A and B are shown apart, each in its own frame.
Chain A
Amino acid sequence: MEIFQFLADGFLIAFQPLNFALIVFGCTVGLFIGAMPGLGSVNGVAILLPMTFLVPPTSAIIFLGALYYGAMYGGAISSIMLGIPGASTAVATTFDGRPLALQGKADSALVAAATASFVGGTISVALFTAFAPPLAEAALAFGPPEEFALMMLAFATFIGLGGDDIPKTFFSIFIGLVFSAVGLDIVSGDPRLIFFDLPGFYHGINFLVLAIGIYGIGEMLWTIETNKGDVIISQAKISFRRIMRAIGALRHSIRTMLMGSFLGYFVGILPAAGATPGSLMAYGVAKTVSKDPDSYGKGNVDGVVAPEAANNAASTGSMLPMLTLGIPGSPTTAILLGGMVIWGLEPGPMLFVNNTEFVWGLIASLYAANLFALLINLAFIPAFLMVLRMPFTILAPVIFILCIVGGYAPTKDMHDVWLMLIFGVVGYLMRKLDYPLAPGVLAIVLGPLAESSVRQSLIMSHGSFGIFVERPISAVIMAITVVLFVLPIVKLVKRRRAEL
């Protein structure tokens, strides 16, 4: 097999001393950047890109690939420990990761996240190795109607995430979508919803501003009040045996892990989708097929495993259209793509032919980066758990400061810091009145893509909705979406009947 020969050569490149050192260094740096609320793989890769001029291109991409992976692992850490998703890809991890941490099981959540990330990453690199070119062709078949169908599918999978209060759940989804519309209307090119004519609204409302506001500041205010200001968040015991036991306990989650990995990978391949819809869909599917769906959101390890396996798998998946088509599948890969241009490489269909050493060195290093990210992550778990032992009156101001700096960093605009404070305070008050907030946070992520794809489709079809069912791929996805929308209702009706 030619592939194995290429891969073996790739491993020789990945294990050269310089490259090997870069893998370990990249994973470690990535882990810490990812663990900061507000900083994710995009920031890490963008910031460290200029440093890669010191080394040859293959080493540079290996370093950034390792950093990307490390940051994906790290994203789970702040989701679990602080309940603040560091990036949109880690939102789904908070749903069960945070409750687990509050129950004193932060160690099993962290171990589950790391292990699932490893499985997801490895499976997707294997898929990448075997089927890169044909899958790239498949990704091209996704035009605006298919993208819209996919977005509907993502919405359908998290329809069940809200509370029992239906008007409040819908309010949350709608307000998230409205916030996502702020900024620019891409179809007409006109500015839109510029409240009070503040220039800060031109760049729209960043997902991170809402997420850090609600989950960071809002959550802290909530904890201050409920704990009357001076209680330790949770006691977590650490020992090597507990970590090993937590790994052992994951054998019950193997099915979820595999499901998350495959789903994440295939969603990640599709241009523009990226890892966020993948992780949400994995969470939704895991909950739907689970024997005990009610335990989700209350601290089910599978609820951490599914999104984490999926988001790591998707991050590898999104490299595929970047390398084979020159189209980034996520903001992070967009910056990697820019890097490749700087190094003098030509991403696109010819890359696999002209730069075999680069491509296979990267693929082999991804296997290695996965393994090291897992080991480094596990090694640091005790240190992360130490954080939870700090008295709350020390932890709270430190987290507040991290939120403010993290909210400022992506756009470098104080406008966003103020907005974050408002979201935090209002979100806290709404949460006290049982408004579910997670649907709103997710809507702000998926909203722009959903709106632009539906409007592009309608322009293509001159206003006819038929375009969504005439095209085969879009029709199939739409059919699955309808089933997913109907399924919870059927279940509900059945349960009501059984109760009567």
Chain B
Amino acid sequence: MAELKLRLSRRAWLLGLATGFIASAGTMATSEDALAAWEPRKPVEFVIMAGKGGGADRLARFIQGIIEKHNYSPKPFVPVNKGGGSGAEALRYVRDKAGDPHVIMATLNSYYTTPLRNPGIDVDIAKFTPVARLAEDTFQLWVHSDTDIKTVDDYVKAVKEAGPQSWRMGGTGKGQEDSLVTGMLEKKFGIKMTYVPFKGGGTVAKQLIGKHINSTVNNPSEQAGFWDAGKSRALASFTPKGKLSGKFGNIPTFEELGYGTDMVYYMQRSIVAPPKTEPDVQAFYVGVFEKVYKSAEWQDYLQKKGLIPGWLTGKELTAYFTKEREAHRKLLKAAGEIK
């Protein structure tokens, strides 16, 4: 009984404490606002346009880790996965949060493709507030190392011999990056493949190693483990000449192989804020991500995982987004995904 009383009184004390804080909230808030540059007052919702465990999710959590480790933000960034409808859910959520200073979003290329493919969600990405582009992820053409295919020429020959019925190209969902890159390949070389969609890039990589599919267009981070173990082979890189460094730089680009400069495709890794975000709020987030970008962890990650560094912010970033959106509109039209 005595113990119970003690516990009750402690609770009452905590409650008193809490109400005290709440009561003093008003005064504290006003005096601080006037003083310094904007800082978040509560945990920041870090919306991720993809589900848990995928490549985009892992990258966003990696960034969150860097922020946390170096204390770049006074309040924590809390990742929230809103991957539904290829990111449609996240886009609508952030659009509806217009002006909310405690929401930002990590994007990938579905940032362009999802609004284009689903006009019904009524999202115009040009209205979102740009924060920063942190990198561009790259794509390579991969086959299993047990095959005799060593060059792009071998590859084209093998696909033609196998015929469209039995050559299986694995990738993520239709209308997403992998299928667009596959479309580029088919158009360039006049070949046809059976496109098998899987849930994420990691699964795609595993299906290749298990020989359930014949080729993939994985990101370096998805294939790196198998590549190091000698299980897979990269034939060519969908990047411009000389952009990639490190071990991935040794993979020939389509340009170097003499197939022209148009066989280039990137996955952008950027951060945006909702529409109508105040300039001082935007400045805060740009500052945080500039620190992330310059951190040793991030630079090391770019090098190891075959990403191309590319800091971009402000109006240039919006211009980049609108340019890329038009490029994707063309790609989607060519693939017959939109009219």
Are A and B direct contacts in the complex by CB distance below 8 Å? yes
Is A252 close to B, CB under 8 A?
no
Interface-located stretch among B29-37, B220-228, B277-285: B220-228
| Binary contact track A302-335/B, C-beta < 8 Å → 1, others 0 | 0000000000000000000100011110010011
| Binary contact track A397-417/B, C-beta < 8 Å → 1, others 0 | 000000000000001100000
Q: Is the CB of B52 within 8 A of A334?
A: yes
Q: Is the CB of A187 within 8 A of B199?
A: no
Number of interface residues of B (CB under 8 A): 57
Is B197 close to A, CB under 8 A?
yes
Of the candidates B65, B120, B221, B224, the one whose C-beta lies within 8 Å of that of A53 is B65
Of the candidates B175, B197, B206, B224, the one whose C-beta lies within 8 Å of that of A346 is B224
Is B192 close to A, CB under 8 A?
no
In the bound assembly, the distance between CA atoms of A199 and B83 in angstroms comes to 12
| Binary contact track B193-205/A, C-beta < 8 Å → 1, others 0 | 0111111001101
Is A186 close to B, CB under 8 A?
yes
Residue on A nearest B47 in the bound complex, by CB? A412
Number of interface residues of A (CB under 8 A): 54
Neighbouring B residues of A143 by C-beta, 8 Å: 207, 210, 212
Q: Is the CB of A186 within 8 A of B199?
A: yes
Residues 186-204 of A contacting B (Cβ, < 8 Å): 186-191, 194, 197, 199-204
| A342-B65 in contact given A142-B210, A199-B92, A460-B194 (Cβ < 8 Å) | yes
Neighbouring A residues of B1 by C-beta, 8 Å: none
Most buried by B among A142, A344, A350: A350
Is B57 close to A, CB under 8 A?
yes
| Binary contact track A30-51/B, C-beta < 8 Å → 1, others 0 | 0000000000001000100110
Q: Is the CB of A191 within 8 A of B228?
A: no
Q: Is the CB of B196 within 8 A of A191?
A: no
| Binary contact track A350-377/B, C-beta < 8 Å → 1, others 0 | 1100000000000000000000000000
Q: Is the CB of A328 within 8 A of B202?
A: yes
Neighbouring B residues of A452 by C-beta, 8 Å: 198-199
In the bound assembly, the distance between CA atoms of A203 and B117 in angstroms comes to 17
Residue on B nearest A452 in the bound complex, by CB? B199
CB distance from A204 to the nearest CB of B (A): 6
Is B231 close to A, CB under 8 A?
yes
Q: Is the CB of B52 within 8 A of A335?
A: yes
| A203-B83 in contact given A49-B61, A349-B226 (Cβ < 8 Å) | yes
Q: Is the CB of B58 within 8 A of A202?
A: no
In the bound assembly, the distance between CA atoms of A350 and B300 in angstroms comes to 19
Of the candidates B92, B202, B229, the one whose C-beta lies within 8 Å of that of A327 is B202
| Binary contact track B166-203/A, C-beta < 8 Å → 1, others 0 | 00100001111000000000000000001111110011
Is A140 close to B, CB under 8 A?
yes
| Binary contact track B202-220/A, C-beta < 8 Å → 1, others 0 | 1101110110110000000
| Binary contact track B105-137/A, C-beta < 8 Å → 1, others 0 | 000000000000110100000000000000000
In the bound assembly, the distance between CA atoms of A144 and B64 in angstroms comes to 34
In the bound assembly, the distance between CA atoms of A183 and B84 in angstroms comes to 6
Q: Is the CB of B53 within 8 A of A202?
A: no
CB distance from B143 to the nearest CB of A (A): 16
Residues 49-87 of B contacting A (Cβ, < 8 Å): 52-54, 57-58, 61-62, 64-65, 68-69, 76, 79-86
CB distance from A341 to the nearest CB of B (A): 6
Neighbouring A residues of B248 by C-beta, 8 Å: none
Most buried by A among B65, B84, B224, B229: B84
Q: Is the CB of A346 within 8 A of B84?
A: no
Q: Is the CB of A42 within 8 A of B89?
A: no
Neighbouring A residues of B82 by C-beta, 8 Å: 202-203, 411
Q: Is the CB of B196 within 8 A of A456?
A: yes
Is B88 close to A, CB under 8 A?
yes
Residues 11-59 of B contacting A (Cβ, < 8 Å): 45, 52-54, 57-58
| Binary contact track B232-256/A, C-beta < 8 Å → 1, others 0 | 0000000000000000000000000
Of the candidates B76, B84, B118, the one whose C-beta lies within 8 Å of that of A204 is B84
Q: Is the CB of B118 within 8 A of A191?
A: yes
CB distance from A56 to the nearest CB of B (A): 13
In the bound assembly, the distance between CA atoms of A344 and B62 in angstroms comes to 11
| A50-B64 in contact given A191-B88, A331-B53, A346-B228 (Cβ < 8 Å) | yes
| Binary contact track A99-119/B, C-beta < 8 Å → 1, others 0 | 000000000000000000000
Neighbouring A residues of B203 by C-beta, 8 Å: 271-272, 327
Q: Is the CB of B197 within 8 A of A184?
A: no
CB distance from B306 to the nearest CB of A (A): 13
Neighbouring A residues of B68 by C-beta, 8 Å: 50, 53
CB distance from B269 to the nearest CB of A (A): 14
Residue on B nearest A351 in the bound complex, by CB? B225
Of the candidates B83, B194, B198, B206, the one whose C-beta lies within 8 Å of that of A462 is B194
Is B165 close to A, CB under 8 A?
yes
In the bound assembly, the distance between CA atoms of A187 and B88 in angstroms comes to 16
Residue on A nearest B208 in the bound complex, by CB? A140
| A342-B197 in contact given A53-B68, A187-B174, A188-B174 (Cβ < 8 Å) | no
A-B contact pairs, 30 of them (CB 8 A): A46-B79, A49-B61, A53-B65, A53-B68, A144-B196, A184-B86, A184-B173, A188-B173, A189-B175, A191-B85, A199-B92, A201-B84, A202-B89, A203-B85, A271-B203, A272-B203, A321-B206, A325-B209, A326-B202, A328-B53, A334-B54, A338-B53, A338-B61, A341-B221, A342-B65, A344-B300, A346-B225, A412-B45, A412-B80, A459-B196
